[in-house]
Amino acid sequence: MSGIFNLSVQNLLRHRTRSFLTMLGIAAAVGVLFSVFSFNRGFEEGLARELQATGLHFMVTPAGCPHEVASLVLHGSVTPNYLDTGVMETIRNIVGVNLATPILVAQLPNPDRQRVDLIYGVDTNLLPRIKPEWEISGNMPSGPYEILLGYNLAKRDNIEPGAEFRYPNLDTTLTVSGIIGQTYSQDDVFVFMPIATAQRLMDKPNGATAIGVKVDRPEQMETIIGELRAARSDLQVITMNQVMNAATSIAASAKSLSLAIALVALIIGAVGVMNSIMMAVFERSQEIGMMRAIGASRWNVFRVILQETVILTVIGGVIGIIIAMLGGRLIETFIRQVMPYVPSGDMLRFDPALAAAAVVFAVVIGLKAGLYPAWKASRINPIEAIKG
C-alpha cells in the first residue's frame, strides 16, 4: 500500500496533458532563474581569471568613456585615440613603477586568411614577466618580424610554429615563432607582436593605445596614480578593479532584466498551477466529500491538495534545471551576442547548491500556489458534494 504520496501522484496523472503543461510553465520560469544565477557566477569567475591574466595593475589611456577603455583592455576593440610619446617618460619617472610598457591593440584585416585579426603590439621581451603563466610551444619572438599566436587562432587555421603571416600594408613577411597554450582568456584570440611592428602596421610610428603599468607593491597603487594624475590631466587611469566593476555592472543590469523576465514567467507559471489545481479540486469535489465522510479531516484534505501542488512544481523545477543545463550552450551564445564583454571559457557550470536552492524555491512556489485551492478543497461541504 502506497500512501498519500501515491494518491497525489495518481490524481495528477488523471489529467496528464494538463499536469504536464502546467509543469512546463514552472519549468520555464525556474530554468530561466537557474540560468541567470549560473551565468552570473561563471561570469565573475571568468572575469577575475582574465584580469589576472593581463599581469598588469593598471592601464593609462587617453581620456574617454570608461566602458570604451574596459572594452579596449579586454576586448581589443579599436580606439581612435593614441597616446603621445611624452607619457612614457612621465610614468617611468614615478617612484614605485616596476614596469611601464606601451601597448597597441587594433583590428587589422588579413585578406590571406579572410578575416580581421586582433593584433596586440607589446614589448615582447617583457612578455615572460607580464604573462608568466603562458606555456609556449615553439619560441618567444626574438626578432622584429616574429609573432606569437593565441591558441584558438592557431587551432582554427591549423597553424604550426614556423608558419608565415602577411599583411597587405607591410612588405615583410612575419613568422610565427610560437603558439601560446590555451589560457581560456582573450589571449587565445590575439596575434602578439613587437610593438614597433604593430606601429608600422598601423602606420603610427610612436603610437600606443594604452600603457600598461605594473607596480612594485600593489599597496602603492593609489599614491602612484595620484602622482600621475597631478602630472597629466588628459589621461585616464583605469585599474583592473575598475575594469572588473564596469564589466560586472553591465552584467548586473543584464541580470536584473533577466530576473524581471523570470519573475514574470514565474508569476504566470504559479497562476497556471493554481488554476490547474483549482480545476482539479472542483472536478473532484464529490470524491473530496467522500473522503471527508470516511474520516478525512479538513486538514487531511488540505494536505492532499497542497502536496499535489508541490509535487507538480518540484517536478517542473527539476525539468527546468535539466533544460537549463542542456540549453545552457544556446543561452551562452545568446549572451555573448548581447553583452559588450564576456569572458571566454565556460560560463555555465552545474552548481549543486544552486540546483538545490532552485528546487527549494520550486517547493515554496508550490506551497504558495497550492494554498488557496487547498483551502477551498478543505471547505468543501461533504453533504453538498455527495448528495445521495
Partner 1 sequence: MIRLRGVEKKYRRGVEEVRALRSVDLDIQIGDFAAVIGPSGAGKTTLLHILGCLDLPSGGEFDFDGVRVNKMRESELVTLRRKKIGFIFQQFYLIPGLSVLDNIALPLLFSKDKGANGRGAKDRVTELARMVGLGKRMHHVPAQLSGGEMQRTAIARALVNSPELILADEPTGNLDSANSKKIFDILHQLHQNGLTVIMITHNQELAARADRMIRIKDGMIEV
Q: Annotate each residue in 279-318 with x if it binds partner 1 (CB under 8 A) or - if it does not, as one string.
A: -------xx--xxxxxxxxx-x------------------
Written as nine digits, the cell of 184 is 581560456
Query: Element (H or E) spanning 37, and its range?
Result: helix 16-54
**Residue 386 in the binding site for partner 1 (CB under 8 A):** yes
**Beta strands 115-122 and 97-110, pairing class:** antiparallel
- Helix, coil or strand: residue 210: strand
Alpha helices in 125-237 (DSSP H): 127-130, 151-157, 195-202, 221-231
Among positions 86, 132, 352, 388, the unique one binding ligand ATP when judged by CB under 6 A: 388
Q: Interior CA angle at 217 toward 216 and 223, to 5°?
A: 100
- The reply on whether position 285 binds ligand ATP by CB under 6 A is no
Q: Is 386 in the site for Mg ion (CB under 5 A)?
A: no
- Does the footprint of Mg ion cover residue 80 (CB under 5 A)? no
Q: Which stretch binds Mg ion (CB under 5 A): 57-65, 123-131, 253-261, 380-388?
A: 380-388
Using DSSP bridges, classify how beta strands 58-62 and 235-239 pair: parallel, antiparallel or unpaired.
Answer: antiparallel
- Taking the complex as a whole, how short is the minimal distance between the CB of residue 382 and ligand ATP, in angstroms? 11
Applying CB under 8 A, the site for partner 1 has a residue count of 28
- Rank residues 16 and 95 by Cβ distance to partner 1 and give the closer one: 16
**Minimal distance in Å, beta carbon 372 to partner 1?**
21
Does residue 388 touch partner 1 according to CB under 8 A? yes
Q: CA dist 148 to 103, 172, 189, 338, Å?
A: 15, 16, 11, 30
Residue 205 is a binding residue for ligand ATP (CB under 6 A): no
What residues from 11 to 70 belong to the interface with partner 1 (CB under 8 A)? 11, 13-14
* Contact region with partner 1 (CB under 8 A), list: 19-27, 204-212, 313-321, 380-388: 380-388
Residue 57 binding target from Mg ion, ligand ATP, partner 1, none, CB below 5 to 8 Å by type:
none
Give dist(CA 307, CA 7) in Å, integer: 10
Nearer Cβ to ligand ATP (16/387): 387
Looking at beta carbons only, is 135 or 384 nearer to ligand ATP?
A: 384
Please give the grid coordinates belonging to residue 31.
Answer: 530554468
Q: Provide DSSP, 234-277.
A: SEEEEEHHHHHHHHHHHHHHHHHHHHHHHHHHHHHHHHHHHHHH
Of these partners, ligand ATP, partner 1, Mg ion, none, which one is at the site of residue 1 (CB under 5 to 8 Å by kind)?
partner 1
Using N-to-C axis directions, what is the helix angle for 285-293 and 240-283, rounded to 10°? 70
280, 332 contact by CB (below 8 A): no
Helices 298-338 & 240-283 angle (0-180, nearest 10): 140
Binders in 346-385 for ligand ATP, by CB under 6 A: 384
For ligand ATP, which is the closer residue by CB, 181 or 382? 382
Give the footprint of ligand ATP on this chain (CB under 6 A).
384, 387-388
Give the footprint of partner 1 on this chain (CB under 8 A).
1-4, 6-7, 9-11, 13-14, 286-287, 290-298, 300, 382-383, 386-388
